[in-house]
Amino acid sequence: MCGRTACTLAPDEVSRASSYRNRGGQRRQPRWRDGDADKYRPSYNKSPQSMSPVLLSQRHFDKEAPVDECVLASMRWGLVPAWFKENDPSKMQYSTSNCRSESLLSKKSYKDPLTKGQRCVILADGFYEWQKVEKDKQPFFIYFPQSEGPSQGKKEDQDDPTTSARNKENSEEVEAPGEWTGWKLLTMAGVFDCWTPPDGGEPLYSYSIITVNASQNLQSIHHRMPAILDGEDEVRKWLDFGEVKSLDALKLLQSKNTLTFHPVSSIVNNSRNNSPECLQPVDPNSKKKPKPTASSKMMTSWLSSSAPLKRKGSDTRESKDKQENDAETEPKSTGALQQWLQGAKKKPRTK
């Protein structure tokens, strides 16, 4: 299963991190749907019912768009079927944050969007999973291995907010200035749907993360894992609902032994905790610091930076019990990507 994720990038950084090559071989940077960049909030500790960045084909919104054009959207985690009759999504009697790959064609909530080609890719720094240890549970943060260090030699125009994708969100898809050199985002396969309240109101786009049997290296933590799309080719095939039919797309949903992980503090157990400490590697069996891996050393370096960027407000859950409590605090750090995003004299991004 997958019940908690982290996504610490600002909207323009998500766009840069999810750049891809079109059929002509040009690297493109997807724009955000109008208004969706403002619906997304970076967070170290995202839970179901929050809004997350999702990559999908632009043809879902514009049938005349090029077949290989992608767009970013903010969608609610926890699929609300188009046929749901209540006016309040929280009245759903079952959880749809995850859907088993084995059940995609047998459960109406997922079969309908799948047969309509409503496939998407959920983006995140990584996800959390809990390992049962006797009477306790040890949380782990799971993510793509990070083989290269952050690039500090960015060109000035790439750091200038006036040329960022954030300020081009109302323009056509733009060509990316180059390869993304920061944290490699996790790309998880999902299905989405669009629900409109029966009494009228703004349509709600929501998604479910597809899960498969855990890969060999993750089985000791949990028996299920998100269906990972590894590489641009798999992402392209999953999103190309016109060329790649549903049954062929389902073949991409395999257990892949491509992820790495490290144990983290139990503070992540409470979704209201939203700080860099959620991602910090710990040694559950010792008070000493754990022996660092290449990826965890990179993350520790980013988390300990002393000059974080100013971010948008943190993610806020949309459930009733959350509304009755204080909203999550704004991240005081830029997350796992902060070191390469900031320069010694770089000014904070502004909206």
Q: What is the per-residue pLDDT across 16-43, written as a single tens digit (0 to 9) for each?
A: 999 998 888 889 999 999 999 999 999 9
From 26-40, 92-106, 229-243, 301-315, the region with the lowest mean pLDDT: 301-315
Mean pLDDT of 329-341: 40
Residues in contact with 102: Cβ distance below 8 Å, sequence separation at least 6, in sequence order? none
Residues in the chain: 351
The encoded tokens of residue 2 equal: 């997958």
Residue 330 has pLDDT above 50, yes or no: no
What pLDDT, on the 0 to 100 scale, is given for residue 85?
Answer: 92
Share above pLDDT 90 across residues of the chain, in percent, rounded to a whole number: 62
Place of tokens 């349509």: 203
> Lowest-confidence range among 265-269, 280-284, 347-351?
347-351
Query: How confident is residue 143, by pLDDT bands cut at 50, 70 and 90?
Result: very high
- Among 90-99, 112-121, 179-188, the range with the most confident prediction by mean pLDDT is 112-121
Pairwise CA distance, residues 336 & 325, whole Å: 27
Task: Write down the pLDDT at residue 192.
Answer: 98
What pLDDT was estimated at residue 338? Answer: 45
Contacts of 145 (CB under 8 A, 6+ apart): 258, 259, 260, 294, 295
Domain boundaries, the chain: 5-341
Would you say the pTM of this structure is higher than 0.75?
yes
Q: In what order do the strands lie in the sheet with 174-175?
A: 20-21, 27-29, 174-175
CA distance 180 to 190: 23
**Residues in CB range of 241: below 8 A, 6 or more apart:** 57, 59, 117, 118, 119, 249
What number is the average pLDDT over the span 319-333? 39
Q: What is the mean pLDDT of the chain?
A: 80
Q: Mean pLDDT throughout 273-300?
A: 73
Q: What is the DSSP string of 180-235?
A: --S---EEEEEEEEEE--TT----EEEEEEEEEEPPGGGTTT-SEEE-B--SHHHH
| pLDDT reading at 167 higher than 90 | no
| Superfamily in which the 5-341 domain is placed by CATH | SOS response associated peptidase-like (3.90.1680.10)
The contacts of residue 120 (CB under 8 Å, 6+ apart) are 54, 55, 56, 75, 190, 191, 192, 207, 239
Q: Kindly report the number of other CB atoms within 10 A of residue 92's CB atom.
A: 15
As a whole number of angstroms, the distance between CA 44 and CA 336 comes to 9
Helices (H) and strands (E) in the chain, counts: 8, 15
**What DSSP assignment string belongs to 275-286?**
SGGGT-B--TT-
The catalytic residues are: 2, 129
Statement: residue 96 has pLDDT above 90: yes
Which burial class, exposed, middle or buried, applies to 302 when counting CB atoms under 10 A from its CB (0-12, 13-18, 19+)? Answer: buried
CA gyration radius for the chain? 19
Confidence of residue 2 (pLDDT cuts 50, 70, 90): confident
Q: Do 5 and 52 meet the contact criterion of CB atoms below 8 Å apart?
A: yes
Nearest alpha-carbon partner for 192 in 42, 41, 12, 71: 71
Beta bridge partners of 128: 141
For position 91, what pLDDT does the model report?
86
The pLDDT-based confidence of 176 (bands split at 50, 70, 90) is very low
Mean pLDDT computed over 114-121? 97
Residue type, 249: A
